[in-house]
Chain A
Amino acid sequence: MSAQTDPAQRVAIGISFGNSYSSIAFTSSEGKAEVIANEDGDRQIPSVLSYVEGEELHGGQAKSQLVRNAKNTVAYFRDFLGQDFKSIDPTPAHQSAHPVESESTVAFKIRDSEAEEENAVTVGDITTRHLRRLRSSASDYLGKDVNAAVVTVPTNFSESQKEALKSAAKEAGIEVLQFINEPTAAVLAYDARPDAQLTDKTLVVADLGGTRSDVTVIASRGGIYTMLAAVHDFDVSGSKLDQVLIDYFAKEFIKKHKAAGDPRENERSLAKLKLECESVKKALSIGQSANFSVESLAGGVDFTATINRTRYDLLGNKLFAAFTRLVSHAVEKAELDPLDISEIILAGGNSHTPKVAAAVGAAFPETTAVLAPSTSPTAINPSELAVRGAAIQASLIQEFEAEDIEQSLHPMVTVTPHLSTAVGVLLISGDESNGVFHAIVDAETPLPVRRTATITTPREGGDVLIKLVEGSRHIKVTKPEPKPKAEKADDDSEDESEDEEEEEELREKTWKIGSAVSETALRGIKKGAKVEVQINIANDLSVTALFREIGGKGGVRGQVQGKAS
């Protein structure tokens, strides 16, 4: 633990380290997170390293080496870190240096020096070199030596992967203050905006990355986040969207230049196609059409073509639908309904695609806000969400002692009881059967909690009864009146089933009132007065409630003991 820097000397940044891209950000003195561009001017820095005659290339420069120097170029290595060789999926690395087994870890055989020989460089060393370059870019920009960082990781990153990343970072001169989950970082990036309002809400973070997609359902209660469910998919990804374009342009090429052959069958041609298709995809997120052009694509033939967004949306349809299914699946896994979700945060580079936002939004009610550049003017750049969150967290904890951070991350602190039902008051009637439930504390709120709400009282005033009850959310499905069906012959039963699907169900959120917790009498309330209710729920489930007429004095205070557990 001697490598720890004195907290006063720390210069901490946020790092998002991805398979495809990494980024770095810092928090300015005004408390605003800003993403740092490297010396090439890239804010999204490709996680690629390449060696030419002993010289190390990094980021965008290394990425372009995938065409002529693929064997000495390392890419898509993040998920290999801290893994057993047998458990990795080397598919994404097929077009670059292949991973090989090396003792207990994964290595790459590359020519990284001027000598004519290949060295086995472990994935840990590759990560160190990558992080060192990121660190020096950040140091150059800030004019200060960066020595600490908060790093984002996927939610299913194991302890051994984190350990490996931590020691690789240490080698690069970076003290990892904390690992934070990518989706939580995205939520934090939104909540840290000065105009953001903290409300209790349930949201979905859908991260569509280059080689994988992660969807997470998060309950945000008073600025504290709890992950309810997460799904990961390595088949639905941005590289599959690239593939759709690769196939399209390859076919167009073959149509025009039969003799030149299929560019997908030649490694170098395929690498060229791949790079160009990714930039075409990016261009289609901004403009309505994009140009594709590669010099000497295959057989020495140049190829140029254009594609418009409608065509691309059509080609990628299956993948967009698959992504929507993934999001719906995550909501299901959290045992929630789309109606429970108030916001969807789209993260990851592919969330720039307008069709992605449209497809995901279509699976949710109109009340659900989709935060993506094409659907919301206030959306943050989806590629920058994780790194911004990391930078904010870094600025919050950089003055803490390492021991303090460690203690705060302990399960004693982070594991806490969460309410299984919502707690609120009954309005209109004291009777469970026809009262209206007004939720004050939502389900899945971590304890202890304190919430205040204002409720209305009967118009005539006088003495009122306030009943504190539990409520659980139900989805009420109202089927429209079945249309009188025309008699149909047996053979077109297929049409019939389609008709049935078209009948739209009407779904709404209702509250089912559970057991009562307490009853309170407020006497002599003025006409049309409002009552302020404040409830405190402690970890042992004891409830302290305070009921007070607004503008009145006194009020009633009471306590309900929690069940001994």
Chain B
Amino acid sequence: PVLPEGWAGEKDFKPVGSLSKTNDRKIEPVGPHFLAYARRVRHKRTFSEDERI
């Protein structure tokens, strides 16, 4: 979409809302991607920190 006239935001970014509530569900502890996820959670790493290692 084209930027409307007079639109302004700090550093061109304007938060206007937040995401709606999530559902807690159990993920299946299976597969390589889960194991990578579990490793991140247990070491409290983020995606990018995990990639650096």
Contact = CB atoms under 8 A, between A and B. Distances in A.
Interface of A: 178, 180-181, 184-185, 188, 191-192, 198, 218, 222-228, 389, 392-393, 396-397, 407-409, 411-421, 423, 426-430, 435, 444, 446-448, 450, 458, 462-467, 470, 514-523, 536-537, 541, 543, 545, 556-563, 565
A435 B1 contact: yes
Contact of A470 (B15, B20, B30): B20
A536 B47 CA distance: 9
B21 A516 contact: no
Interface residues of B, number: 37
Contacts of A559: 15
B17 to A, nearest CB: 5
B28 A562 contact: no
Contacts of A470: 19-20
A420 B23 contact: yes
Contacts of B32: 223, 396
Contact of A226 (B1, B11, B14, B26): B26
A347 to B, nearest CB: 15
B1 A562 contact: no
Interface centre among B14, B19, B33, B38 (most CB of A within 10 A): B19
B2 A464 contact: yes
Nearest to A469: B17
Nearest to B22: A417
A458 B1 CA distance: 6
Contacts of B13: 518-521, 545, 556-558
Contacts of B25: 226-228, 415-418, 444, 446
Contacts of B22: 417-420, 447, 541
B46 to A, nearest CB: 7
A548 B22 CA distance: 28
Interface centre among A185, A462, A517, A559 (most CB of B within 10 A): A517
Interface string B29-51: 11111110110011000110000
A54 to B, nearest CB: 41
A465 B15 contact: no
Interface centre among B4, B15, B32, B41 (most CB of A within 10 A): B15
Nearest to B8: A521
Given A397-B35, A447-B22, A519-B9, 20 more contacts: A224-B33, A392-B31, A407-B42, A408-B42, A412-B41, A414-B26, A414-B29, A417-B22, A418-B24, A419-B22, A446-B25, A448-B46, A463-B2, A467-B1, A517-B17, A545-B13, A558-B15, A560-B17, A561-B15, A563-B19
Given A520-B12, A558-B11, A227 B28 contact: yes
B1 A393 contact: no
A389 to B, nearest CB: 7
A226 to B, nearest CB: 5
Contacts of A446: 25, 27
A448 B18 contact: no
Contacts of B53: none
Contact of A426 (B1, B21, B37, B41): B1
A223 B47 contact: no
B23 to A, nearest CB: 5
